[in-house]
Structure 1
Amino acid sequence: MIEVLDQRTRFGTWWAKVTLLIDLLSGEIMTTTQIRALRLDDAHKLAPLIAENAQALRRGAPRRPDAYYAERILSDKTAEVLGAFEGDKLVGFAVFFDLPELITGLRIGQMDDIYVHPDHRNKGTGRKMIETLVSEGQNRGWLHLRWLVPGKNTPAVALYEKIAEPDHRKSYLIPIDRIAGD
């Protein structure tokens, strides 16, 4: 807080200090969301968000954070994970892949999952993660970034329709049960 006071009151007025303190107490000063690649040492921060996302999607998935699973994802050779931070707190993540595209010979980005904690939604965090992936895709020479969206997630679909075009493809799924192979 001292740094913020020094920056905001470099002209030294007492009133500016009082105004800043009121802003801080009332929540008027917003924290800046930082987007960066997650590292293995972020697993303990990622685990609770994975559990919350699983609960929201599957209703009945494990309720407790699984640090081992978060470590597996962050150690995966093909998956990459972006994190959205407000200060030191991880408030969202996006899992993506860099894939070859057969027809053009170029590469594409495939976002597998994006999640923002409910307390941090409607603040542009999801959009900022997608914008970061688009920028990364430009750096990597991707043809496009694509992702699959559950149609029932109306608020998310509304955002996606503002920033992307619907794809002409349909998605199909064949469940593969681990037990079936035994």
Structure 2
Amino acid sequence: MADLSFRALKPGDAPDLAPLIAENAQALKRGAPRRPDEVFSERLLEDKSIEIIGAFQGETLVGFAAFFDIPDLISGLRIGQLDDIYVVQNHRHTGIGRTLVEEISRIGKERDWLHVRWLVPNKNKVDNSLFENLAEPDDKDSFIVPIDRLALA
């Protein structure tokens, strides 16, 4: 990890980010691999509501973490919400994921966040070791409300 660096990704990083987003989606959803979508990646990197930090080994993007800076209605403070983290297969278990989380925690300290909320996939879908070692379970469950279900009601 000698030449590992981290920085906020910009729209110009879209061609490098697109394959990682596709790999992450395939790892979580299984099935046929997605084709990298540079247009989507560029739109994502231009979106002011989300921030994405990239992990670079030299000039190569080897991981990313996507997060939001949001208000917490209970405390009146702000929190970070870590929505997704991905490290390419041949760079896993080298500390990159941990360092991405540490980078977000550093940002949170600078912004005076109460904490970082981390949304993680259900057990048995991915390697749980990173979040089980760095985080603790919250007292909340996460649910998804299908938009179509509401439209039909």
Name the TM-score, length of structure 1 as normaliser: 0.77
* Aligned residue in 1 for 2:52: 81
Gaps of 5+ in 2: none
For 1:60, the equivalent position in structure 2 comes to 31
Matched, 1:101 2:72: yes
Q: How big is the shift at 1:46? A: 0.2
Letter in 1 for 2:100: M
| Aligned mate of 1:169, from 140, 144, 150 | 140
Aligned length: 150
Q: Matched residues in 2 for 1:154 and 1:70: separation?
A: 23
Write the distance in 2 (CA, Å) between the matches of 1:80 and 1:106: 19
1:69 to 29, 37, 40: 40
Contact 1:31 1:87 (8 Å CA) reproduced: no
8 Å contact from structure 2 (residues 71, 78) kept in 1 = yes
2:102 maps to what in 1? 131
Flag the 1:75–1:135 CA change in 2: closer, same or farther, 3 A: same
Question: For 1:156-175, what per-residue CA distance to the aligned partner results, in whole angstroms no more than 9, with x for missing partners?
Answer: x2221221111111111112
Distance 2:124 2:107 in 1: 28
Q: Within 5 Å, which residues of 2 pair with 1:13-28?
A: none
Residue 21 (structure 1) aligns with: none
Percent of aligned pairs with the same residue? 57
Give ranges in structure 1 of 5+ residues lacking alignment: 1-29
3-state SS, counterpart of residue 169 of structure 1: coil
TM-score by length of 2: 0.91
Letter in 2 for 1:174: V
1:15 equivalent in structure 2: none
C-alpha RMSD of matched pairs (Å): 1.8
Counterpart among 83, 86, 90 of residue 112 in structure 1: 83
Distance 2:36 2:21 in 1: 7
